[in-house]
């Protein structure tokens, strides 16, 4: 199973085995990883699953669509080049991922 590593703003990390096809958000929430709120359950309505993606992985991910891009401008914490909504990031076979959660989601 692919592994997703979540590092919070204090530097604490947790690695979770993820199902292929699940989103990075779902993997976090179902396993109780703090730092991702995901109020809307992945329907791209709330921007409370904001993460910073490891820059080396950025090119491997499909770019954000317009709706995600617009939502990201309203995320509670600073938007960076590596910002994504984790509900839109699907876990793929053989592709481990490392994301950092922001200081706040709301």
Partner 1 sequence: MADGLLIIGSSQAGVSLATSLRALGHDEPITLLGDENHRPYQRPALSKEWLQGEITNEKLMFRTQEYWAEHRIDVVKNERIIRIDKNDDGSGVAHSMSGADFPFDRLALAVGARARRLLLDGVDLPGVLYLRNADDALELKARVPGVREAVVIGGGFIGLEAAASLARMGRSVTLIEAAPRLVPRAVGEQTSAHLLAHHRAAGLDILLGASVRRIVPRGDRVGGVELADGRVISADLVLVGVGVIPNTELAESIGLVCDNGIRVDESALASDGVTVAVGDCANLPNPVPGAPEGDRVRFESVNNAIEQAKVAAYAITGRREEYAGIPWFWSNQGTIKLQIAGLSTGHDRTLVRADPERGKHSVLYYRGDRILAADCVNSPLDFMAVRSALSKGQFIPYDAAGDPSVQLKSVTVDPAALVAAD
**Residues in contact with partner 1 by the rule CB under 8 A:** 22, 26, 29-32, 34, 37, 39-47, 67, 70-71, 73-75
Tokens of 11: 């530097």
Residue 94 CB, nearest distance to partner 1 (Å)?
22
Q: How far is CA 45 from CA 12, 13, 39, 76, 81, in A?
A: 28, 27, 8, 14, 21
Pick between residue 40 and residue 57 the one whose CB is nearest to partner 1: 40
Pick between residue 60 and residue 104 the one whose CB is nearest to partner 1: 104
The closest of 16, 6, 18, 41 to 92, measured between CA atoms, is: 18
Residue 19 CB, nearest distance to partner 1 (Å)?
8
d(CA 81, CA 79): 7
Residue 101 CB, nearest distance to partner 1 (Å)?
14
What backbone phi and psi angles, to 5 degrees, belong to 53?
-85, 145
Pick between residue 41 and residue 55 the one whose CB is nearest to partner 1: 41
């Amino acid at each position: 199973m692919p592994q997703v590593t979540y590092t919070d703003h204090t530097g604490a990390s947790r690695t979770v085995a993820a199902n292929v096809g699940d989103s990075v958000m779902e993997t976090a929430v179902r396993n109780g990883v703090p730092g991702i709120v995901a109020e809307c359950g992945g329907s791209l309505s709330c921007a409370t699953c904001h993460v910073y993606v490891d820059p080396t992985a950025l090119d491997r991910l499909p770019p954000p669509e317009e709706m995600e891009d617009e939502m990201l401008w309203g995320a509670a914490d600073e938007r960076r080049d590596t910002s994504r909504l984790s509900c839109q990031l699907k876990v793929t076979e053989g592709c481990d991922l490392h994301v950092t959660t922001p200081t706040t989601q709301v």
